[in-house]
């Protein structure tokens, strides 16, 4: 075949969902990739991580064949680069047969709920994120996984106020005159918004960043407000206090489109500036100025990201921030409003893709129990285990774990507990992966997965409004296979005869889009099929044209809203019925400077994402490691906290709490204020001591939808007495 270019979509868990043009040579090898210049948000460039994607696809470390654990090798972390010694190659036939036999036996003996799927967002392609796999586990009657680890809290918070997960169009940002990046590291996590922000600034807009950490975004802003972690609800309530006190709210918009304003007014009375200042660490004068700037600048937009909901009070915080543009009526103006996520605009037919009805056909005859992924450690140790405090009504202990699209040994909270669970010799663990990861070290059966270059999919986005087709660019490397293929094959080995298990990728795409039945298509997807996407060069904007007054797209300029009341809900009767405070409030996190525990562990710890990695994806690649070299193995501290502990820049330190102790190197660099320390997510096996930041995080759940509290962690730090290896590649 002559050399050619195909349109793929970056499938990493990133709001930008970039269009990617892959050049393939005559031999079928990808030789080049670039951002699609015709995609209005990608605008022809890729982030630093994915610009080097050929290094990942063709890495010599890719998993290329199915493998099983060699007899006698215990389940434990393995040295990077030597993992293959612990596994032996088997054929796909043998792998599939072994898995089918073991899962059948476990289901027979202990009930299918003793099987737990564990997946998240290794790919956010619609099919490979969740379709054939969901069908398979429903049909099997396996435990259902509540996928809370990332954004469920924030998403539910937004929905509680507006009824839908929509937000200000990325392409509207240049019109804004004030942009607040609230817990949003645009430079690191959402780089394709940056050119729109810069365009707005050239037109005179100001950029304000509210973040306890001096991100690259914060350093580039007009005003960085370093807030105390976990106190954003107080700040938002305090801003509303000032806006209402000074009559700066939009009375007409509030009267026409919202409900619960009177109750909100009472609640915000409890948050005068001095009190909010004491909680947030921001001066009362600055809070006044921020509230005034926000309420008097038009259009004003908030780029809110999920960092704000990763703490105990995160649901209330997201709700409170989300209410600000409803109070000021900022939604009426193109370039105003708020963007947390745009994902609710993509109306895939999930029922067709996931087939929850198959669960009824399983031996259970009912939907299986739900296990929250944010308490994986608990699920693998205590759950169903009476000796460890488990309750019989919780169902059987987990006997089989099936991991794909995720690396829980690195990303799940309370790592000590997770690793104890994974190390259980009696747990049958399957891992479908592209690389030997921290999790694959614990697999009984290890299966090779394709990258987005090697399979076809479709994709939406949570940071723009384009639906895209991701064409297969190259043949799978070695014997790598996609998630869709894997679960289709496995279903057939298990004897599941339903025709849906034989659906092809193209069938699934048509089902997701409902393109086989245009009458049933959602109006925003009207006319979209794989063919129209292909003809359009890979990307099509959702069709908002037919919405009333939606040209340009103003998602919440007017009602009716898809909430129970049909209005924007300051007061949520739904939450009240669930026993949750119907109005946002500030509540101190049990691990924060406002809690008694801070007497023992006085430092607030931010175990952050790395700018050059994607959660736990990329740290194993030398070029990516190099880009992140200033932060690998580093604890960022303020000079006051370092001096008080006799710590000098570069010293090896132990960062510890009741859950464990981590060896890092102190770096005094202005990233954090006194009382806060920060470190970045890396692989356990690439870290000194064999653990990453999640050794210190807890399995506590937050105030809405059972999300984790990665950013509510107390620690202390001491100069290390142990002499650590001086691994220069870790600095
Ligand atoms: N480069 C890169 N890009 C990524 C990822 C990555 O790992 N690396 N991860 C992807 C994923 S999974 C997601 S979910 C998205 C979105 O991810 P985000 O939610 O944007 O990412 P975070 O880095 O968790 O949080 C954003 C910011 O919130 C700040 N923050 C922490 N606690 C608080 C607080 O209490 N208040 C305030 N105001 N700010 C706080 C953090 O310091 C951080 O700078 O990003 C995606 N993009
Ligand atoms: N301390 C701390 N912990 C965190 C966070 C944090 O900010 N701080 N962030 C949290 C958040 S927001 C999230 S979303 C989670 C992310 O957690 P995960 O969703 O687990 O994300 P990754 O760490 O990127 O791991 C994804 C894995 O899937 C694999 N993969 C990619 N594509 C495919 C595929 O097509 N098929 C298969 N089978 N595998 C594939 C990749 O190789 C990779 O190892 O981490 C959470 N954990
Ligand atoms: S990780 Fe995000 S910014 Fe980078 S190429 Fe993928 S979608 Fe684009
Ligand atoms: Mo995430």
What is the distance in A from the centroid of ligand 2 to the CA of 128? 14
What is the distance in A from the centroid of ligand 3 to the CA of 18? 6
List Cα–Cα distances, 696 to 205, 327, 632, 662, 709, in angstroms: 40, 39, 17, 8, 11
pLDDT tops 50 at residue 728: no
Digit-coded pLDDT (tens) for 30-51: 999 999 999 999 999 999 999 9
What is the distance in A from the centroid of ligand 1 to the CA of 609? 6
Pocket test for ligand 1, best of 307, 321, 411, 694 (most atoms within 8 A of CB): 307
The pair of three-digit structure tokens given for residue 299, joined into one six-digit string: 């259009």
Average confidence (pLDDT) over 348-375: 93
| Ligand nearest to the backbone CA of 9 | 3
Q: What is the pLDDT of residue 581?
A: 98
Report domain extents, the chain: 67-150+347-457+476-524, 153-340, 596-719
Q: 18 CB less than 6 Å from ligand 3? A: yes
The minimum-distance atom of ligand 1 relative to the CA of 215 is: 44
pLDDT tops 90 at residue 72: yes
Q: What is the pLDDT of residue 238?
A: 99
Q: 418 CB less than 6 Å from ligand 3? A: no
Q: What is the pLDDT of residue 730?
A: 34
Mean pLDDT of the chain: 96
- Computed on alpha carbons and rounded to an integer, the radius of gyration of the chain in Å comes to 25
Pocket test for ligand 1, best of 122, 182, 185, 588 (most atoms within 8 A of CB): 185
What is the distance in A from the centroid of ligand 2 to the CA of 406? 5
Digit-coded pLDDT (tens) for 441-453: 999 999 999 999 9
Q: What is the pLDDT of residue 724?
A: 53
Name 22's bridge partners. 6, 33
Q: Do 596-719 and 67-150+347-457+476-524 have the same topology in CATH?
A: no
- Asked, as a colleague might, if the bond just before 299 is cis with ω within 30 of 0, I would say yes
Torsion of CA 6, 9, 10, 16, to 10 degrees: 130
Reduced to 3 states (helix: H, G, I; strand: E, B; else coil), residue 717 is strand
91-96 long-range contacts, CB within 8 A, separation 24+: 91/66, 92/66, 92/479, 92/481, 92/489, 94/66, 95/66, 95/68, 95/445, 95/447, 96/489, 96/490, 96/493
- Asked, as a colleague might, if the bond just before 552 is cis with ω within 30 of 0, I would say yes
Q: 311 CB less than 6 Å from ligand 1? A: yes
pLDDT tops 90 at residue 518: no
**Phi and psi for 169 in degrees, rounded to 5?**
-65, 130
User: pLDDT-derived band of residue 363, with 50, 70 and 90 as boundaries?
Assistant: confident
Q: What is the pLDDT of residue 549?
A: 55
Digit-coded pLDDT (tens) for 614-649: 999 999 999 999 999 999 999 999 999 999 999 999
Q: What is the pLDDT of residue 729?
A: 42
Q: What is the pLDDT of residue 673?
A: 98
Digit-coded pLDDT (tens) for 93-137: 999 999 999 999 999 999 999 999 999 999 999 999 999 999 999
Q: What is the pLDDT of residue 252?
A: 98
Q: 226 CB less than 6 Å from ligand 1? A: no
Q: What is the pLDDT of residue 100?
A: 98
Average confidence (pLDDT) over 200-213: 98
User: pLDDT-derived band of residue 547, with 50, 70 and 90 as boundaries?
Assistant: low
The minimum-distance atom of ligand 3 relative to the CA of 190 is: 3
| Burial of residue 583 (number of CB atoms within 10 Å: 0-12, 13-18, 19+) | buried
Q: 541 CB less than 6 Å from ligand 1? A: no
Question: What is the C-alpha separation between 382 and 523, in angstroms, rounded?
Answer: 47
Fold classified for 596-719: Barwin-like endoglucanases (2.40.40)
Question: What is the C-alpha separation between 194 and 37, in angstroms, rounded?
Answer: 16
Average confidence (pLDDT) over 223-252: 98
User: pLDDT-derived band of residue 366, with 50, 70 and 90 as boundaries?
Assistant: confident
Question: What is the C-alpha separation between 148 and 706, in angstroms, rounded?
Answer: 6
Answer whether 716's CB lies under 8 Å from 604's CB.
no
List Cα–Cα distances, 138 to 353, 433, 510, 525, in angstroms: 12, 22, 21, 27
Q: 46 CB less than 6 Å from ligand 3? A: yes
Minimal-distance CA residue to ligand 2 atom 16: 615
Average confidence (pLDDT) over 181-198: 98
Q: What is the pLDDT of residue 517?
A: 86
Q: 500 CB less than 6 Å from ligand 3? A: no
| Burial of residue 182 (number of CB atoms within 10 Å: 0-12, 13-18, 19+) | buried
**Residue 183 zone, left/alpha/beta (φ > 0; ψ -120 to 50; rest):** left
pLDDT tops 70 at residue 725: no
Answer whether 696's CB lies under 8 Å from 660's CB.
yes
Q: What is the pLDDT of residue 723?
A: 58
Q: Which residues line ligand 2 (CB under 6 A)?
A: 13, 120-123, 128, 149-150, 404-407, 411, 432-435, 437, 449, 483, 607-609, 614-617, 681, 693-694, 697, 710
The pair of three-digit structure tokens given for residue 343, joined into one six-digit string: 């994902």
> Regarding the domain with residue range 153-340, which homologous superfamily does it belong to in the CATH classification?
Dimethylsulfoxide Reductase, domain 2 (3.40.228.10)
Pocket test for ligand 1, best of 122, 124, 183 (most atoms within 8 A of CB): 183
Pocket test for ligand 2, best of 615, 677, 682, 697 (most atoms within 8 A of CB): 615
Average confidence (pLDDT) over 321-328: 99
User: pLDDT-derived band of residue 367, with 50, 70 and 90 as boundaries?
Assistant: confident
Q: 19 CB less than 6 Å from ligand 1? A: no
Average confidence (pLDDT) over 582-605: 98
Minimal-distance CA residue to ligand 2 atom 25: 406
Q: What is the pLDDT of residue 364?
A: 84
Q: What is the pLDDT of residue 692?
A: 98
What is the distance in A from the centroid of ligand 4 to the CA of 183? 13
Q: What is the pLDDT of residue 195?
A: 98
Q: What is the pLDDT of residue 726?
A: 42
Q: What is the pLDDT of residue 550?
A: 62
Pocket test for ligand 1, best of 121, 609, 677, 694 (most atoms within 8 A of CB): 609
Minimal-distance CA residue to ligand 3 atom 8: 18
Digit-coded pLDDT (tens) for 294-312: 999 999 999 999 999 999 9
Domain 67-150+347-457+476-524 in CATH 3.40.50.740? yes
CB atoms within 10 A of CB 9: 29
Sheet of 67-69, strand order = 87-89, 67-69, 445-448, 428-433, 400-404, 115-119
């Amino acid at each position: 075949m002559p050399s050619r270019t195909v349109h793929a979509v970056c499938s990493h868990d990133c709001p930008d969902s970039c269009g990617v043009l892959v050049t393939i040579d005559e031999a079928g090898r990808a030789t080049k990739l670039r951002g699609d210049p015709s995609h209005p948000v990608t605008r022809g460039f890729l982030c630093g991580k994915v610009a080097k994607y050929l290094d990942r696809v063709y890495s010599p470390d890719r998993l290329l064949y199915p493998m099983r654990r060699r007899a006698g090798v215990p389940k434990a972390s393995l040295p990077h680069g030597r993992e293959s010694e612990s596994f032996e190659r088997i054929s796909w036939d043998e792998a599939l047969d072994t898995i089918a036999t073991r899962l059948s036996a476990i289901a027979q003996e202990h009930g299918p709920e003793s099987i737990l799927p564990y997946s998240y967002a290794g790919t956010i392609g619609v099919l490979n994120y969740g379709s054939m796999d969901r069908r398979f586990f429903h049909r099997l009657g396996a435990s259902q996984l509540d996928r809370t680890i990332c954004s469920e809290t924030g998403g539910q918070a937004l929905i509680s106020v507006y009824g839908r997960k929509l937000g200000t169009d990325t392409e509207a940002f240049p019109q804004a005159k004030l942009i607040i990046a609230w817990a949003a590291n645009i430079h690191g996590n959402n780089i394709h918004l940056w050119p729109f922000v810069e365009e707005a600034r050239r037109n005179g807009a100001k950029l304000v960043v509210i973040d306890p950490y001096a991100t690259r975004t914060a350093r580039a802003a007009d005003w960085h407000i370093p807030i105390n972690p976990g106190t954003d609800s107080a700040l938002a309530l305090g801003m509303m206090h000032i806006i209402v006190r000074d009559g700066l709210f939009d009375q007409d918009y509030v009267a026409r489109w919202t409900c619960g304003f009177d109750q909100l007014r009472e609640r915000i009375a409890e948050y005068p500036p001095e009190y909010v200042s004491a909680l947030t660490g921001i001066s009362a004068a600055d809070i006044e100025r921020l509230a005034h700037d926000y309420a008097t600048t038009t259009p004003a937009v908030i780029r809110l990201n999920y960092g704000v909901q990763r703490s105990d009070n995160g649901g209330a915080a997201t709700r409170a921030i989300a209410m600000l543009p409803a109070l000021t009526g900022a939604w009426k103006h193109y370039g105003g409003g708020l963007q947390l996520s745009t994902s609710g605009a993509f109306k895939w037919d999930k029922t067709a893709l996931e087939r929850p009805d198959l669960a009824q056909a399983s031996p259970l005859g009912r939907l299986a129990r739900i296990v929250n992924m944010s308490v994986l450690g608990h699920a693998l140790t205590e759950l169903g285990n009476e000796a460890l405090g488990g309750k019989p009504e919780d169902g059987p202990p987990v006997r089989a774990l099936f991991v794909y699209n995720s690396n829980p040994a690195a990303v799940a909270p309370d790592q000590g507990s997770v690793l104890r669970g994974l190390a259980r010799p009696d747990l049958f663990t399957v891992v479908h992966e592209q690389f030997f990861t921290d999790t694959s070290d614990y697999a009984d059966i290890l299966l090779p997965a394709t990258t987005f270059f090697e399979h076809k999919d479709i994709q939406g986005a949570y940071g723009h409004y384009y639906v895209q087709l991701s064409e297969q660019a190259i043949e799978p490397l070695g014997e790598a296979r996609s998630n869709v293929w894997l679960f289709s094959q496995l279903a057939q080995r298990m004897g599941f005869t339903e025709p849906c298990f034989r659906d092809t990728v193209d069938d699934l795409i048509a089902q997701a889009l409902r393109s086989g039945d245009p009458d049933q298509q959602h109006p925003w997807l009207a006319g979209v099929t794989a063919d129209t996407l292909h003809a359009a060069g890979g990307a099509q904007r959702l069709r908002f044209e037919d919405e009333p007054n939606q040209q340009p797209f103003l998602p919440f300029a007017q009602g009716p809203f898809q909430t129970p009341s049909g209005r924007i809900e300051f007061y949520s009767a739904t939450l009240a019925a669930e026993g949750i405070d119907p109005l946002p409030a500030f509540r101190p996190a049990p691990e924060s400077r406002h809690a008694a525990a801070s007497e023992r562990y006085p430092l607030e710890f931010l175990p952050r994402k790395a700018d050059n990695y994607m959660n736990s994806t990329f740290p194993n690649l030398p070029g990516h490691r190099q880009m992140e070299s200033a932060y690998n193995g580093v604890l960022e501290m303020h000079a006051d906290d370092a001096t008080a502990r006799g710590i000098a820049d570069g010293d090896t330190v132990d960062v510890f709490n009741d859950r464990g102790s981590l060896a890092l190197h102190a770096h005094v660099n202005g990233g954090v204020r006194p009382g806060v320390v920060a470190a970045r997510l890396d692989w356990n096996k690439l870290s000194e001591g064999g653990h990453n930041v999640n050794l210190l995080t807890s399995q506590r759940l937050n105030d809405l939808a059972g999300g984790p509290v990665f950013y509510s962690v107390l620690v202390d730090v001491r100069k290390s007495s142990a002499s650590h290896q001086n691994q220069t590649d870790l600095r």
